[in-house]
Amino acid sequence: MEPEIPELRQPWLIASFEGWNDAADAASGVVDHLIDEWDAKPLVEMDPEDFYDFQVSRPHMVRDDDGNRVIQWQTSAIYYASPPGWDRDVLLVRGLEPNYRWRLFASTLTGLASLAGATDVVLLGALLADSPHTRPVPVQGQSTDPVMSDRLSLTESTYTGPVGINSVVADSAAEQGMGVVSLWAAVPHYLAEPPCPKATLALLHRLEDVMQVPLPQGVLPEMSDAWQRGADELLENDPDVAEYVQALESERDESELPEASGDAIAREFERYLRRRGTGE
């Protein structure tokens, strides 16, 4: 039985999945943030029986609104929102990387999105990398749309090797005829403990570049600043870590091209203009 889908205006689909694709919860943090900021409503939950190993993703005992103890099954869910002032709606996918039937999971998810009228998909991920926390968080991306790739200065991925559910969903969405963008933030591996609001904010900024509309930042800038101060204190108290970070800084600074820095400045100025127009 298909879910009852409200009439939506050419919605974007924005998705993240906990687990292998979500270092320090940075990617799922973006979707959680937008669900809260836009007061997104539940649309449908994936049947956990079909896709999850309950010895790995154990259900939780929680209390419902009436105070009764109930079992809450870990799964993936789709929410929908109508951001104020927008001419398009948004579908937000928040969930876990499935344990089983990845192709069925991906086709079910993108099929539901297609029924809702989605034409563009943005998949968010985060990975642990040799990236110093003292520099801006790198966000790499790819797109199936050549125009989008050119506008965002995205390069075609040359990666070969194991992939997560993000790649499978991206492939399924492309088969459905949707435009797909994948964004990945590089989280400092020596600060892998979640959350990492600095990486979440970096992904949010890049998502804003993709959608070309201002996105609500809420308390993320303050959380990012607090995270940065905590990371700096770690360096002050651990000379070995400080020496290692200095080496990473040197590698990063030597590898960055001047034109890449210019692109980053231009993107930040465009974001400023968008937010200035909305008072964000």
Give backbone dihedrals phi and psi of 274, rounded to 5 degrees, phi first. -65, -45
Q: And the tokens for 206? A: 């890049």
Q: Which domain holds residue 143?
A: 12-278
How much is the pLDDT for 259? Answer: 46
Q: Is position 2 within any domain?
A: no
Exposure class string for 114-139: b at 16+ Cβ within 10 A, else e:
eebebbbbbbbbbbebebbbeeebbb
* Structural domain contains residue 7: no
Question: What is the C-alpha separation between 14 and 174, in angstroms, rounded?
Answer: 14
The C-alpha atoms of residue 129 and residue 123 are separated, in whole angstroms, by 19
Would 6 be classed as within a structural domain? Answer: no
Question: Looking at residue 228, which CATH number applies to its domain?
Answer: 3.40.50.10900
- Judge whether 157 lies within some domain: yes
**Do residues 142 and 36 lie in contact, with contact meaning Cβ atoms separated by under 8 Å?**
no
Beta bridge pairs of residue 80: 41, 91
Which residue stretches of the chain have pLDDT < 50? 1, 258-259, 265
Residue 3 lies in a domain: no
**Structural element, H or E, at residue 29:** helix 26-37
The total number of structural domains in the chain stands at 1
Residue 180 · residue 119 · CB < 8 Å: no
Query: Does any domain span residue 4?
Result: no
Q: For residue 12, which of 76, 86, 73, 64 has the smallest C-alpha distance?
A: 86
Task: Match 């709606």 to its residue by tokens.
Answer: 89
Is position 5 within any domain? Answer: no
* SS3 label, residue 129: strand
Looking at residue 1, its pLDDT comes to 47
CB of 122 within 8 A of CB of 210? Answer: yes
- Domain-embedded: residue 229: yes
Whole-number Cα distances in Å, 242 to 117, 134, 191, 235, 237: 50, 11, 13, 5, 9
Residue 110 Cα distances to 77, 85, 123, angstroms: 13, 26, 12
